[in-house]
Structure 1
Amino acid sequence: MKTTGGTDDQKRRAAERAAELVSDGDVVGLGTGSTAAHAIRAIGRMVADGLDVRGVPTSFDSRALAREAGIPLRSLDEIDGVDVAIDGADQLDRNLAAIKGGGAAHAREKVVDAAADRFVVVADPTKVVETLSRSVPVEVLPDARAAVERDVADLGGDVTLRRAERKDGPVVTDNGNLVLDCEFGTVDDPDGLAQDLSRLPGVVEHGLFVDLVDEAYVGTDDGVDVRTRE
């Protein structure tokens, strides 16, 4: 379910511009995905040049990349807060509501992003839409899968268990849970749907990020479009 589209240059422009927000002494949330990876590498280069920061990774992949880039790491329980979080999105609407979870890391991403004083999404233009319409990833406890599938169907969702691409069986998150991709068509009320999903027993976290994104840096062919919440 990882998203594709946009050029690598567009992603890199957005990510490197967002990395410029990081200041000496900051605690930085390190997102997951191809666009956030560019930001991690850019911050790593800044660290090599003497910047003093601590990174809080949101997934196994972002942790590994940050270590490779030379960024000192901390867990959330080791720090008092996050100054800025930089992360990608699978889809982003005009009000900066986002759908995340193409990499199945949305539970940890949401914890880190919500803890940040400033949460910046980096994206290419293919991720920006008028109204959200992608399927919403929902991380569930394995034993609750069938119950959550029924509850999501009652909300009008079409549910698919996410399958692993190179192994038999389902995708298992870094937290040991399963991911249901829930298709609702056009999501006209992201906040309402987010609240409905959060209330379902067995749901660990869903991929709707509402009222969390402060800014979006959208890379273009010749620069970066900076968007703020309306």
Structure 2
Amino acid sequence: MDAKKLAAESAVEYVEDGMTVGLGTGSTASWAIKALGEKVKAGLHIQAVASSVASEDLAKQYGIQLTDFSELSRIDVTIDGADEVDAQCNLIKGGGGALLREKIIAYNSSQFIVVVDESKLVRTLGKFPLPVEIVPFAAELTLKQLKNLGCETSIRQKDGKNFVTDNGNLIADCFFNQIEVPELLNNSILLIPGVVESGLFLHPKVHRVIVGYADGTLHLLKGDKKK
């Protein structure tokens, strides 16, 4: 069985009738959306908000009711993937380019459940380039300030053009190699004018991490088991 699929389907077991669910973005989150769709078809009643146009479209395809953010009183649980998870359960996210919306939804969720396969586990963050969402205006100046933090940077490309987020911004991929103190780096990045948000998701807001393995087993890296 696909390890990402296994982890995603396990996370969906935390979703209960009547909940408002945050939908992440990316390949692992897609498995969770599909699994939720099957539960909805079987009678589960939920409403959802999505972190990207792609996830919104997939949710509609699977019959998941979407609601407007203005009508929300709470988000009970959000399920999303990650590009790296360190030993303290800090994350790098944003490989799919939806980090800003993902972080807004995760921050406002009672439970933020992260699902990954074992390949995403690292001792120290940084091998995966850290995505930073920046405004297009004077992007070159923002890149220079990011480089001053000790990384190589490049504007993400797609189909030979600058990749543009659902918010109309750019993604600067920052190659640090090792991020020893994620909290400090995150604060330094957010102080740069032109930066919208970083792809560092810090452990206090990560409530559960479910890891799927190629042999079909699951490991709960953080959080309580479902009662």
TM-score by length of 2: 0.94
Q: What's the CA shift for 1:120?
A: 0.5
The match for 1:143 is 137
The match for 2:219 is 225
The match for 1:96 is 89
Q: Separation in 1 of the partners of 2:94 and 2:124?
A: 17
SS at match of 1:146: helix
- Judge conservation of contact 2:85–2:125 (CA < 8 Å) in 1: yes
SS at match of 1:120: strand
Matched AA of 1:163: Q
**Residues 144 and 78 of structure 1: CA distance in aligned 2, closer, same or farther (over 3 Å):** farther
Instruction: Indicate the RMSD between aligned Cα atoms, in angstroms.
Output: 1.1
SS at match of 1:143: coil
The match for 1:202 is 194
- Equivalent position to 2:60, from 37, 47, 67: 67
Q: Separation in 1 of the partners of 2:120 and 2:109?
A: 22
| 2:65 counterpart of 1:79 | no
Q: Separation in 1 of the partners of 2:118 and 2:52?
A: 24
- Equivalent position to 1:36, from 25, 29, 43: 29
Listed one character per residue, the Cα deviations across residues 83-117 of structure 1 (whole Å, up to 9, x for unaligned) are: 00000000001111000010100000000011100
Structure 1: which 5+ runs fail to align?
Answer: 1-7
Matched AA of 2:119: T
Identity %: 42
How many matched pairs? 220
Matched AA of 1:203: V
- Equivalent position to 1:20, from 6, 10, 13: 13
Q: Separation in 2 of the partners of 1:104 and 1:75?
A: 22
Q: Separation in 2 of the partners of 1:214 and 1:49?
A: 27
The match for 1:182 is 174
Q: Separation in 2 of the partners of 1:212 and 1:99?
A: 13
Q: Which segment is superposed worse, 116-125 or 203-212? A: 203-212
The match for 1:5 is none
Q: Separation in 2 of the partners of 1:150 and 1:225?
A: 40
- Judge conservation of contact 1:57–1:75 (CA < 8 Å) in 2: no
Matched AA of 1:45: E
TM-score by length of 1: 0.93
